[in-house]
Structure 1
């Protein structure tokens, strides 16, 4: 796996590099925001994952994340945020980051988050090619193919979903009308414990809903005091 890490603290990069090498991951480290974005845009197919700090020289991580998402909706992005900056975490998730790690952090925590995203990507890439074109989810108004990442909602393609938004939609739609708590979604979609950090789910649901409603009536519903469910049975009469 090839990782692009945009982080201005060189000592942090040197430490992280040792852990990446142990995992046999190849990494490119850039210490300037503007140069980091240029590095990705010049070689967008070269990197499998991006680790992105928010506070950077010349260009901040939020701006970089937005620009990367214009180029690719699928490359996983993990943002590094300062401690207790809840607004940064939520904004980062809303603009397309797939995950975040709060500073100061253990390198093992970052490695675990990367492995989680990597496992999910491998499930898609290793799927049997013979099943391509067969929708795994086929409800009244939604068709979803996890192998090709194709989504049809109200007979129109639903495009621009980030990897986590797609996984959230798949998890909810694969069990129509079942109510999932935020804790369940954290475990099923993110593949590890967030220790009650429910705003991660809420931020992704908010962004996903904004994209879904462009195709027609909303199909993800809030069950107050419990969580969320997918239900498109009464969306169009």
Structure 2
């Protein structure tokens, strides 16, 4: 999952980014409203965390303009203000939720996951290929009827590959979307995590869905979905 964080307080921004990345999110940060709006329009994000009091352009205006061109991305607004009229203004402009500073990171994470679950109701809830299934909203993975435990980073990599199943994805694309474009991720790290997935998703089930395309990257095979009984 990719998050856009628009927050001008460097300490708050860094703390939120560290927490989200530890939970497997890829986080892009903007320090002002103008940059935040531009990034939100140029890149596809799963959710936007938007401060209201921003230099250059207020969070209210960013939200309003973003809703004119993107009606689907969930927006969670942050503010140091505390009042029902501020909350009403944010929601009226198109925000999906509202959190007042100071706040607990645990609460922020729960709100974001709730927004992602709500937003996923309008899309296909499960990703899959053959008998492999991934539920992004519940962070669960199965091969057949066997649930597979994945770390946050392994889950993010599996989701990235499944969303592009049948297509070759480069190491650079994987590093950018599963880690972060700003991080110094060399190709060996990607190879190591591909190896982790093969050990968990393929080998125990005599499968070979994740293939290496020499000189180009990796591909998760796009196989016809098989009928399986997903545990609830």
- TM-score, with length taken from structure 2: 0.52
Q: Residue by residue, what CA displacement relative to the aligned partner does 1:6-64 show, whole Å, maximum 9, x if unpaired?
A: 00001001111121012100010111111111111222xx2111000000001000000
Structure 2 residue aligned with 1:31: 31
The alignment of Structure 1 onto Structure 2 pairs a total of residues equal to 127
2:86 & 2:111 partners in 1: Cα distance? 18
Q: Residue by residue, what CA displacement relative to the aligned partner does 1:106-165 show, whole Å, maximum 9, x if unpaired?
A: 11111110010112233432358xxxxxxxxxxxxxxxxxxxxxxxxxxxxxxxxxxxxx
Larger Rg: 2
Report whether the alignment pairs 1:4 with 2:4: yes
1:98 & 1:68 partners in 2: Cα distance? 13
Structure 2 residue aligned with 1:59: 57
CA distance 1:127–1:51, change in 2 (3 Å)? closer
2:99 & 2:125 partners in 1: Cα distance? 29
Q: Runs of 4+ in structure 1 displaced over 3 angstroms?
A: none
Report whether the alignment pairs 1:16 with 2:16: yes
The answer to whether the 8 A contact 2:37-2:66 is kept is yes
CA distance 1:127–1:7, change in 2 (3 Å)? closer
The answer to whether the 8 A contact 1:83-1:104 is kept is no
Q: Residue by residue, what CA displacement relative to the aligned partner does 1:154-188 show, whole Å, maximum 9, x if unpaired?
A: xxxxxxxxxxxxxxxxxxxxxxxxxxxxxxxxxxx
2:122 & 2:61 partners in 1: Cα distance? 29
2:15 & 2:39 partners in 1: Cα distance? 21
- TM-score, with length taken from structure 1: 0.51
The answer to whether the 8 A contact 2:74-2:119 is kept is no
1:127 & 1:111 partners in 2: Cα distance? 20
Note the 1:77-226 alignment, pairs <5 A: 77-127=75-125
Unaligned runs of 5+ in 2: 127-232
Structure 1 residue aligned with 2:69: 71
The answer to whether the 8 A contact 2:75-2:97 is kept is yes
1:10 & 1:106 partners in 2: Cα distance? 17
Q: Secondary structure at the match of 1:124?
A: coil
